[in-house]
Amino acid sequence: MTSRRLVITAEVDEAIRRHGQETYPHECCGALVATGAGVAVAVPLSNTTDEGPRRRFLVRPSDYRLAETRAREVGGELVGFYHSHPDHPARPSQYDLDHAWPNFAYVIVAVAAGRAGDMTVWWLKEDRSTFEEGTLHGDENSDSDTAQAVYR
Ligand SMILES: [Zn+2]
């Protein structure tokens, strides 16, 4: 079985890392909008909730509406969400699992001591028991036939 893959532009890759560094030591969070087969737009979601700065990743209904609106504006589709793990590995937590929705890609970037590092992508298994790790691809490898086939 091959793992699922998510293609993101270099700009989106950079935007996610920058967002994670800006909100450090708090989590950042945002939505991923794809146009075609690749993620071309990262929509930052507010780092502040009613309880103060986000401590744990949670997409609220208002976040979801904002992301859907933005996706429509650019003629794209909401395909997932990203968030950061300040001083924690880029692996989903139990909380992430409890609050994830099926069919969305979840990108996690580890931010250690204020610097963005590992970035991973996950999909919820159909029975919601766990996440399955996918592969994250930049679109800069345009010399690779497979990457191009997925992105175009
Ligand atoms: Zn998390």
Segments in 7-114 forming alpha helices (H): 10-23, 61-73, 94-99
**Structure confidence at residue 105 (pLDDT):** 96
Span from the CA of 91 to the centroid of ligand 1 (angstroms): 7
Asked whether 110 and 104 are in contact (CB, 8 A), the reply is no
Residue 30's DSSP bridge partners are 44, 82
Rounded Cα distance between 135 and 80, Å, is 14
**Exposed (0-12), middle (13-18) or buried (19+): which is 100, by Cβ within 10 Å?**
buried
Span from the CA of 73 to the centroid of ligand 1 (angstroms): 28
**Structure confidence at residue 56 (pLDDT):** 76
> What is the domain extent for residue 146?
5-151
Rounded Cα distance between 143 and 97, Å, is 36
Span from the CA of 133 to the centroid of ligand 1 (angstroms): 14
Rounded Cα distance between 21 and 103, Å, is 27
Span from the CA of 15 to the centroid of ligand 1 (angstroms): 18
Span from the CA of 117 to the centroid of ligand 1 (angstroms): 15
Span from the CA of 2 to the centroid of ligand 1 (angstroms): 24
**Structure confidence at residue 57 (pLDDT):** 79
Span from the CA of 75 to the centroid of ligand 1 (angstroms): 28
Dihedral sign for Cα 17, 19, 25, 27, please. Answer: negative
Q: Give how many domains the chain has, as a whole number.
A: 1
**Structure confidence at residue 151 (pLDDT):** 38
152 residues of the chain, pLDDT tens digit each:
678 999 999 999 999 999 999 999 999 999 999 998 789 999 999 877 777 777 777 888 889 999 999 999 999 999 999 999 999 999 999 999 998 989 999 999 999 999 999 999 999 998 999 999 999 987 654 444 443 334 33
Span from the CA of 92 to the centroid of ligand 1 (angstroms): 5
Q: Phi, psi at residue 73, to the nearest 5°? A: -60, -40
**Structure confidence at residue 1 (pLDDT):** 60
**Structure confidence at residue 139 (pLDDT):** 65
Span from the CA of 62 to the centroid of ligand 1 (angstroms): 19
DSSP state of 116: E
- Here the CATH number for the domain that contains residue 78 is 3.40.140.10
Q: Cα angle at 133 between 131 and 97, to 5 degrees?
A: 20
Span from the CA of 126 to the centroid of ligand 1 (angstroms): 19
